[in-house]
């Protein structure tokens, strides 16, 4: 296995309410222990299955230019989008003489026949677990729908739609002391809609 000196750290979370602090601390500590020089640390917020991961693309560009000897991640799932993607990117970086090192499997040399086999198995297990999660989620949603649960935005009633559409104009006419009937006739809407908007104004006043 080649001598590794310069590395890039790659951390990823799925949503903006998550943080990468733990990943950064663990990876920097590992780099210090191994005597690696951290060239740069890359942070990305993106779904694991998302194709357009621009930060990861920047890491790949750094690897292609051979400015680093390895990319450090806490686990394979932080890097790969799928089994195929994981294998493809590792092989691609291997062609540039750049390794992917996962803390969970840091002792495994993916360039060896045994390592390549283990990588395939590990990636397949990850994909299998994801498929099971999706299946369980879909089953749960189906069961909830069978019980009458509703998903998505509730549909607006016709009156609510009219209130939303004409709120600004009705408000202006009310401030100009126009009567409910006059406003309704002017905007071709019901008097009830005008009254509903008037009540809103009284509540917020």
Here the CATH number for the domain that contains residue 44 is 3.40.50.1390
Q: Domain residues for 169?
A: 158-204
pLDDT for position 132: 76
Find the mean pLDDT for residues 15-19.
86
Let me know whether 36 and 91 are in one domain: yes
pLDDT digits (tens, 9 = 90+) for 178-192: 999 999 898 988 888
Position 9 scores a pLDDT of 97
**pLDDT band per the 50, 70, 90 thresholds, residue 12:** very high
205 band by pLDDT with thresholds 50, 70 and 90: very low
Domain endpoint, select from 96, 111, 126: 111
Could you confirm whether 112 is annotated as catalytic?
A: no
User: Which residues, at least 6 apart from 67, have a Cβ–Cβ distance to it below 8 Å?
Assistant: 6, 39
The mean pLDDT value of the chain amounts to: 83
37 and 96 co-located in one domain = yes
Classify burial at 6, counting beta carbons within 10 Å of its beta carbon; exposed 0-12, middle 13-18, buried 19 or more. middle
Total count of domains within the chain: 2
Active-site residue, selected from the candidate residues 14, 49, 112, 164: 14
User: Would you say residue 6 has pLDDT above 70?
Assistant: yes
Shared domain for 94 and 169, answered yes or no, is: no
In a domain, 128, yes or no: no
| Co-location of 30 and 101 in the same domain | yes
Same domain, yes or no: 27 and 94: yes
108 three-state secondary structure: coil
Q: Work out the burial of residue 93: count CB atoms within 10 Å of its CB; fewer than 13 is exposed, 13-18 middle, 19 or more buried.
A: buried
pLDDT > 90? residue 73 = yes
* Domain contains 148: no
Span 98-132, pLDDT tens digits? 989 988 876 566 666 777 777 777 777 767 777 77
């Amino acid at each position: 296995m080649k001598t590794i000196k310069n590395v890039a750290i790659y951390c990823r979370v799925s949503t903006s309410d998550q943080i990468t602090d733990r990943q950064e601390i663990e990876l920097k500590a590992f780099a210090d222990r191994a005597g690696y020089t951290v060239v740069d640390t890359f942070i990305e917020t993106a779904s694991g299955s998302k194709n357009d991961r621009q930060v990861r693309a920047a890491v790949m560009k750094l690897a292609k230019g051979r400015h680093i000897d390895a990319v450090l991640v806490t686990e394979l799932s932080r890097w790969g989008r799928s089994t195929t993607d994981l294998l493809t990117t590792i092989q691609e970086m291997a062609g540039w003489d750049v390794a992917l090192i996962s803390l969970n499997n840091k002792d495994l040399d993916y360039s060896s026949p045994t390592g390549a086999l283990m990588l395939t198995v590990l990636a397949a297990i990850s994909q299998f677990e994801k498929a099971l999660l999706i299946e369980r989620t879909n089953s749960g949603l189906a069961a909830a729908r069978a019980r009458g649960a509703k998903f998505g935005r509730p549909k607006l009633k016709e009156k609510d739609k009219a209130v939303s559409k004409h709120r600004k104009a009705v408000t202006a006419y009310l401030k100009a002391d126009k009567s409910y009937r006059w406003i309704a006739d002017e905007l071709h809407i019901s008097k009830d809609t005008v009254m509903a908007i008037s009540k809103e104004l009284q509540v917020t006043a």
